[in-house]
Structures are given as C-alpha cells and as structure tokens.
Structure 1
Amino acid sequence: MSATFPLQRSHPDQLIVGLVSVSDRASSGAYQDQGIPALSDWLGQALTQAPLIVSRLIPDEREGIAATLRELVDEARCDLVLTTGGTGPSRRDVTPEATLDVATREMPGFGEQMRQVSLKFVPTAILSRQVAVLRELPDHAALIINLPGQPKAIRETLEGLRGDDGVVQVPGIFAAVPYCLDLIGGPYVETHETVVRAFRPKSARRGA
C-alpha cells in the first residue's frame, strides 16, 4: 500500500484527508462501517474543492491505530486525519491513547467543543474521550481529530448546531480546521458556508 505514497495533489490547495474507522466488528465484517461513508459524504458537501481521501477500517488495537495514523501522516502525507469510533470508556476504546502516542502537541479545544455540542443532545456526552493533536515532521504536519462513531453525531460536531432561523448557535469544530491547517503549513481550504463557515482572521484571508 505504501508504494503508492505520497499522493499527488491535482492542485496545491487540494486537501489530503485520512479517514480511519476504528471498530472490531466492522473491521471483521460483522457489520457495515458507517463512519467512513458519512465522513466522505460530509467532506464532499462541505469543501469547495474535492479532497483526496485515504481510508482505513481497522480493529480496536492501540498499536495498530497508532501505526495507521503514522502511515497516513508520514507516508500518505495527509494534512488532516479524522478518526471515528473507539473513544468511549470501555476497555476496548483506545483511539485517544493511540492518537496521543503519535502526537507532538495536543489541541484540547477540539475535544472540549465536541463535548459541548453533544451535551446539547445527551448527558452521556461527558463519557466521550475524543482528543485532537498535531503530528509534526521536519517537512510536514497534520491535524488529527477523533470524532464520534455515529453519522448523526459526526455531522453535528463538525457543523455545529443551528436554530430554526438557520443561525449557528453552537459552533462546530470544522469552522476552525482550515485556519489551523494554514498555521501548520497545510493547504488553503475553503468551505461552502451553507454547510459550515470557516473562520479566519481578516489578515489570513486571501484577497482581503
């Protein structure tokens, strides 16, 4: 698999995204994974330019998860890696630990905001242990974010919550992702504001 890496962008600002679904049962074929299709569909709707996507469906094994994250950042040269699943309190839920294993720095605001969004729906959101980190190499860096496992929760945490008038009441985490990528040397990513409005300071906007 790694022989095809690194991937070639069709445009300098094309985003390379790694999608990782962590599930013992889905990876064994016991049921169909829903996380990767949900993420792929959402990215297709949210981004103004189609991303390059590399996906992995793997079991809940800490070393295997960490190895997959390293592969996606170090070899595939992903700018952004989104994981789904394995973030609860059960003993098999080790995605956050594996993510921290490959991190150079933590980005705690992402996890804090995801729990804030989810708490609007269920009190059990406090059981979520999602983390976000940077993995930094001498010539490349990536943002890695743990997301929930259910497609509805994935969309809510990425987009945020809107009122009946369509105004965002609780911001989703993806609003901050493009500017984070700017700051770590990634591509300039733009979004469809009807899905999620990417926030940048005026000085960081192209054409401003």
Structure 2
Amino acid sequence: MAEPSTTTLALVGIVTVSDRASRGDYEDRGGPAIQQYLEDVLCSKWSVVEELVPDEQEQVERAIVELAAVGCCLILTTGGTGPALRDVTPEATEAVCSKMLPGFGEVMRAASLQVVPTAILSRQTAGICNGALVVNLPGQPKAVGECLDAVFAAVPFCIDLLEGPYLETDPDRIVAFRPRR
C-alpha cells in the first residue's frame, strides 16, 4: 500500500481558554507554546487557526465546533483543565465530542505526575468532534510540551483513522506510530 500524500495542508486549531488573557490582562503563552511545539515536531505542511476565549463553557464549545467545521483535523486546547470553579474545558469538550478518548488524559497526567504532584488535579481529556481530534492541554507552557511529548506519537495515526491529512513528524523529535498493514 502506498503512503498517503503529504501535500495536503493540515489545518490545526489552537484554543486558548483564559479569562485574563481574553481580557488582555496578560499575554497568552499557552497558544504560542503549542504552535512552537508543532513547528518543532511536524514535517508535513500545516497551518494554524487560533481562538482565544474566556472560561465560559458555551464559548469553548463554540470555538471547538467552529474549528472542526472549517476543517481542522486537530484541535488543541490550552487552559481550563483544573479543578477551579471556572475551569470548564473538559466539560465543553465532552459536550461537543461524539467519542471520548480518555487514554490521552490518563497518559498526560501520568507524564505530568513525574514532574509535579499536582498533576492529579488535572482533568485533561480528548475526543472526536466532527472528524477532528480534540486534545485538552494544561495552560502552563512547560506543561504543554511535557503533555504533548507523552501523547503525540499516537496523534498522526488517530488523524489517519479519522481520514484526515497525513501528518509526518520529525523522527529526531517524535516518531509517529503507525501499525504495519
């Protein structure tokens, strides 16, 4: 079987969920951390669509649904995954996804637990929204990279299963796992 074409542009959505950043009280650092990670890891052609929303479930839901509707194959959220009252990103993700992939959250928490004991407070999850893989990430830039390192090897194959564009990774950084057929 021939390898799928890598000339298709992959559209990736980044949703920063933060009351303070959305008001302009401070600079968003989670979204840029995700974009930098993707620049370091992806070799295939891709482009990003960014959203910055407050910690309001309806706005988080709308951002995810809109990004899936414009053709994002991967939607990465940052922020809103803790236990605070206004942290609603996992609830928004679950509300708009037809299938949940709890293994992503389990693996990210396990990886973060090697760094900080408060990782057990995180509620990251992942799911499928209208053909897009949605992954919730923490808001701290350092934690974004740690969590993506833990799960990104599985992301390209998940996108394959969803019939999205073929994502190639830099093997010196992350080796994408694809089972032999």
Q: TM-score range by the shorter chain?
A: over 0.9
TM-score (norm 2): 0.94
- Which structure 2 residue ranges, 5 or more long, are not aligned? 1-5
SS at match of 1:157: helix
Aligned to 1:127: 121
State yes or no: 1:30 paired with 2:25.
Answer: yes
How far residue 49 of structure 1 moved from its aligned partner, in angstroms, is 2.1
Aligned partners of 2:121, 2:165: CA distance in 1, in Å?
A: 34
SS at match of 1:53: strand
Aligned to 1:7: none
State yes or no: 1:56 paired with 2:34.
Answer: no
Counterpart amino acid of residue 144 in structure 1? V
TM-score (norm 1): 0.82
Aligned to 1:149: 139
State yes or no: 1:83 paired with 2:52.
Answer: no
| Identity among equivalent pairs (%) | 52
State yes or no: 1:158 paired with 2:148.
Answer: yes
Does the CA-based 8 Å contact 1:85-1:148 persist in structure 2?
yes
Aligned partners of 1:94, 1:173: CA distance in 2, in Å?
A: 22
Higher Cα Rg, which structure: 1
Aligned to 1:201: 179
Aligned partners of 2:43, 2:86: CA distance in 1, in Å?
A: 37
How far residue 12 of structure 1 moved from its aligned partner, in angstroms, is 4.7
Aligned to 1:67: 62
Please give the per-residue CA displacement for 1:46-87, whole angstroms capped at 9, x wherever unaligned: 01124110001110000011011110001x110000000000
- Which structure 1 residue ranges, 5 or more long, are not aligned? 1-10, 160-171, 204-208
RMSD in angstroms over aligned alpha carbons? 1.0
Q: Which 4+ runs in 1 deviate beyond 2 A?
A: 11-14
How far residue 18 of structure 1 moved from its aligned partner, in angstroms, is 0.3
Does the CA-based 8 Å contact 1:44-1:50 persist in structure 2?
no
Counterpart amino acid of residue 28 in structure 2? D
Please give the per-residue CA displacement for 1:144-186, whole angstroms capped at 9, x wherever unaligned: 0001111111111111xxxxxxxxxxxx100000000101111
Of structures 1 and 2, the one scoring higher in RCO (CA 8 A, sep 6+) is: 2
Specify which of 25, 38, 44 is matched with residue 39 of structure 2.
Answer: 44
Aligned to 2:95: 101
